[in-house]
Amino acid sequence: MSAGTVSAVMSGCKPDTSDNWKPLILSKDQVKILAEVVDIILPATNTPGAKELLVHRFIDKIIAECFSKEEQDKVLKGLEYINSASVDVSGKGFMGASPEERLTVLSTYDKEAIKDHSHFFFKIKDLAITGYFSTEIGQTQALQHVAVPGRYEGCIPLEKAGEGRAWAQ
């Protein structure tokens, strides 16, 4: 995870959940594509999917506020690549493609991203996972949440803390 992403997550960067939300950097078409992409990456199971948790809005905010101009351009162009690759596969844009055709397009980019971590799809997946697991549902329903740092007990015997061993040993 990049320092900017960590900073945004740690400072409580949350997507705007209001009905009046407007993207900061993505076009309306790119937002629609991104929402479907993150939902393919993290679909609904026994917990809500990434689209339902508005992870695409989180990604828009991170791209706009934490990415360099070069990184922004890479992701924005990547979303256009997804749409044009879908036309090559299905004869339709990504939004008009079937779920199988969408998966075919994204699988190609996923294979490329595994080999090249600077690939736009790697960044999208990284942000989707970060955004999803930063939500309350991601933390409490998909993961086992343990509050960190936990309760502070300043004056207890060493035997009760750390099984009798000092932390730095």
| pLDDT band, residue 105 (cuts 50/70/90) | very high
Q: Is the predicted pLDDT of residue 76 greater than 60, yes or no?
A: yes
Q: Is the predicted pLDDT of residue 134 greater than 70, yes or no?
A: yes
Asked whether residue 91 is domain-assigned, the answer is: yes
- Expressed as residue numbers, the domain containing 48 is 3-164
Q: Is the predicted pLDDT of residue 21 greater than 70, yes or no?
A: yes
Residue 49: its pLDDT value, please?
96
Mean of the per-residue pLDDT values of the chain: 86
Tokens of 127: 């942000």
Q: How many CB atoms lie within 10 A of CB 74?
A: 16
The overall longest dimension of the chain from CA atoms, in Å, is 70
Residue 5: its pLDDT value, please?
53
Residue 141: its pLDDT value, please?
86
In angstroms, the Cα distances linking 53 to 8, 107, 159 are: 17, 23, 43
- 91 Ramachandran zone, left/alpha/beta (phi>0; psi -120 to 50): left
| pLDDT band, residue 144 (cuts 50/70/90) | confident
| pLDDT band, residue 19 (cuts 50/70/90) | confident
- In the predicted model, what is the mean pLDDT of residues 89-102? 96
Is this prediction's pTM over 0.95? no
Asked whether residue 150 is domain-assigned, the answer is: yes
Minimal CA–CA distance to 65: which of 26, 35, 33, 34? 26
Asked whether residue 143 is domain-assigned, the answer is: yes
Residue 123: its pLDDT value, please?
96
Residue 169: its pLDDT value, please?
38
Percent of the chain with pLDDT over 90: 69
Q: Is 13 helix (H, G, I), strand (E, B) or coil?
A: coil
Minimal CA–CA distance to 2: which of 123, 112, 125, 136? 123
Asked whether residue 169 is domain-assigned, the answer is: no
Total domain count, the chain: 1
Q: Give just the sign of the alpha carbon dihedral 61, 64, 32, 75.
A: negative
Triad 139, 54, 2: Cα angle to 5°: 65
